[in-house]
Amino acid sequence: MLEREIAYYESIKDDLIRHHEGKFVLIIGNEQLGVFDKSEDAYQRGIELRGNVPMLIKQVRQHETIEMIPAMVLGLINAHV
């Protein structure tokens, strides 16, 4: 899943952090297709340029955010005793 795009992001991450920290970068394949203020703008540009294809829109950050969904992860959404 998006392995190529993630590898490319990692290869340019330092440069992105220096110049665009906090912005959203759009990557499809091995190509950086722009840097945007909002994720929605990046998505729109990706659709305009390449259509409905997998794309990596990533907020440029030094440290990754970990999302937490404990009820789902632990299988407790519908748990009853």
Partner 1 sequence: MPTYNRFCLQPSPPGQPTGVPHPQGMAVTGPVLEVQIEIPSVLAQSLQAANSPIPNSVTGIALIDTGASITSIDVSIATRLGLNPNGIAMVGTAGGAQQQPTYQARLSFPGTALPGFEHPKVLGCNLTGQMVMNQQPIIALIGRDYLLHCVFVYSGGAGAWSLSF
- Site for partner 1, rule CB under 8 A: 1-2, 6, 38-40, 43-44, 46-48, 51-58, 64-74, 77-78, 80
At 7, list the tokens.
Answer: 């590898």
Query: 55 exposed, middle or buried (CB, 10 Å; 0-12, 13-18, 19+)?
Result: buried
Q: Give 1 or 18: the residue with its C-beta nearer to partner 1.
A: 1
- Evaluate whether 22 touches 11 at the Cβ level (below 8 Å): no
- Evaluate whether 53 touches 28 at the Cβ level (below 8 Å): yes
Q: Give 6 or 12: the residue with its C-beta nearer to partner 1.
A: 6
Q: How far is the CB of 79 from partner 1 (least distance, A)?
A: 10
Q: Give 18 or 67: the residue with its C-beta nearer to partner 1.
A: 67
